Structure formats: structure tokens, C-alpha cells
Amino acid sequence: MKALFIGGTGTISSAITRQLAESGCELYLLNRGNRNDELPAGVRIIQADINREEEVSRLIEGHSFDVVADFIAFEPAQLERDYRLFHGKTKQFIFISSASAYQKPLSDYRITEGTPLSNPYWAYSRNKIACEEYLMKQYREQGFPVTIVRPSHTYDERSIPLGVHGSKGAWQVARRMLDNKRVIIHGDGTSLWTLTHNSDFAKGFIGLMGNIHAIGESVHITSDESVTWNQIYEIIADALGVKLQAVHVSSEFLAACSQDDLRGSLLGDKANTVVFDNSKLKRLVPGFTATVRVDQGIKQTIRHILAHPEYQVEDPEFDLWCDKVIGALETAAKSVTE
């Protein structure tokens, strides 16, 4: 199989890249070369900015692919560019959408690929929906061989999966735990969430590559395991060897207090209970099973981050914000009871 990945070094795509390289796939990555140092042997690089369409068109001249996958497209204009570049040059085009595009609030917590797409809270999700609509139009009218993949919360060894963190990543929450400080959990922590390790996601994704039954289809790839946010934070604290000091704060209050896009990432995603029905994926990829249990995966991540200081990025601004939010709650409670 000859495949081209636009991106190929991110949280989701890096595990796919590794597994394909081990299988002997003729794999090309088209990216700017900023994160290619740790790529496995045998992966070919086309170094370019995908946004420079004329240059990319020249670099891929003479190539045709069994699969092209874009991991870094977020708006319809980027898919219009991809269509111009790859129409007639690939047997399958895979777009990485997002499970956050599913209806919010959900009418049924069990999500299938037939769940409506609608997210009034998050522009990111609405843009992904628009991308899907554009590609399916090209499939119906032009025969463009599209497969749409919807990941949910996928993580790897470089970042701790959390509900609330700052712009510099998840480490500051772990730092607060290690310092015996209180950490914020959105809502009451009892809503169900699905975490998928990127190595499991890769198995499902590779099973869709070159799969004639996946053309014209939308498929989500997630674990079958559901856990609460309270359990997730308890697992993190246990892996750090500390006792969790949790403060539960309503998602609406956190969104109102945040300068970042917590309205989208919380109200439009993580504040909702989500349980995925992976029956469609298992029909398309017989034998697919996510095997990395949440507690095992998170403990692997914690061990890796503790052993690699470069991932321990301090975020004093977020740390101060947490203290202010917790202090505001305490002040409000005191004012009511006095």
C-alpha cells in the first residue's frame, strides 16, 4: 500500500505512522518537518507547507496513492484545496473529523454514526461538520472516494487526558496534585467519558485504509470502555502517588470564568456523557478491539512524563486561575451562610 499523510506526527497520527512503518507500508508524510526527528525508519518525507498549494502540486506530480489522509484540516477551504490536489490521484481520501460534532446536548447518550451532527457551543465542531458536508457532496457528485473518521478523546504518552487544563497543557494539573493543592473537576465528576489510547485508534484506522467498504462512510474509532471524570482524576492521582484533592465546579461557571474556549471544549464536549457504539467499526474491521485499559494507559503516560522533563511545562497563569475560581466559590458559599 502506498499512502500519504498530511501531518503524521501528532497525537493521533504518530501511532498510525509507527504501526504502518512496521508493516512495510510505503508511507509518505507531507509536513513542514518540525517534528520529524523521531520518525521510524523507512518513512518518506515530502517537506512542504500544505497551504502552499502550487508547491505541493509540483512535489506530488507523478505520484498516485492508495490512501491520502489529512490530519490537520479544520475548515472547508482546506478540504477544497485537498480536493483540487488529490482528485484523481488517490483511491481513498480519509478526513479526520471529530466526535465532538455529534449532537449537543445529546438526545441519547449512546452515540452511533447516525447520531445527528449539531454543536451550537463550539465553532471547531461546526467547522468539522461543514468539512464533512463538503466532502460528502464531492463523493455524491464527483465520485471522490471519501472516508470520514471521527476520533473522540485520544491520548498518548506525551499528555495527560484531562477535562480542564490551561493553554500550556496538562502538566500544571499534575503539579498541583503533587503539591497537595486542590484541582478542579468540571460538574460533579459523575458524567461518563471515553478515552482512547492512540495505539488502539491506530489499529482501527489502519483497518479502514484501503477498505472498499469504508468508501462513502463515516466511522468513529473509540474504546468501548466508559469511566467517570472522578475515576479519571483518581487514576492520575494514584499514578502520581498522591491523594486527590478535588473541587467540583459547574461547567457553566468554568466557561464563564475562562478566557480560553472552555465553553466549546466543556459545554460542547466534555461536560456531556458520551458512550460510543462501535458496531459499525467492528463490521468494517473485524476483530477490532481497544486493548489499552484507561488506568493502564494513564499510568504509562504518567511514567513517561515523569521521566521526560521536557513535557513538564509549567503554567503559572492557569495555576493562579484555579486558585481564583476555587476562592470565588468559597467566598460565595460563605456569603450565603453568614
Top-confidence residue, 242 or 41: 242
Predicted model pTM: 0.95
- Residue 30 grid coordinates: 507531507
Across the range 131-150, mean pLDDT stands at 98
Q: Left if phi > 0, otherwise alpha if psi is -120 to 50, otherwise beta: which for 164?
A: beta
- Whether the CB-CB separation of 20 and 94 falls below 8 Å is answered with no
Domains of the chain: 2-155+197-221 (3.40.50.720), 171-194+225-275+285-329 (3.90.25.10)
Distances (CA, A) of 149 to 71, 93, 144: 10, 11, 16
CA angle 142, 150, 79 (to 5 degrees): 40
- CA-to-CA distance for 183 and 325, rounded, in angstroms? 10
Query: DSSP assignment, residue 120?
Result: T
- Whether the CB-CB separation of 224 and 152 falls below 8 Å is answered with no
3-state secondary structure of 324: helix
Determine the pLDDT at residue 296.
Answer: 97
pLDDT tens column, 101-120: 999 988 888 999 999 999 99
- Whether the CB-CB separation of 99 and 220 falls below 8 Å is answered with yes
Across the range 31-58, mean pLDDT stands at 88
Q: What is the helix (H) or strand (E) element at residue 20, kind and residue range?
A: helix 11-23
List 30's β-bridge partners, or say none.
6, 46
- Whether the CB-CB separation of 273 and 109 falls below 8 Å is answered with yes
Q: What are phi and psi of 169, to 5 degrees?
A: 105, -165
- Whether the CB-CB separation of 265 and 201 falls below 8 Å is answered with no
Compute the Cα dihedral for 234, 235, 240, 241 and give only its sign: positive
pLDDT tens column, 269-287: 999 999 999 999 999 999 9
List 150's β-bridge partners, or say none.
220
- CA-to-CA distance for 282 and 288, rounded, in angstroms? 6
pLDDT classification of 338: cutoffs 50, 70, 90: confident
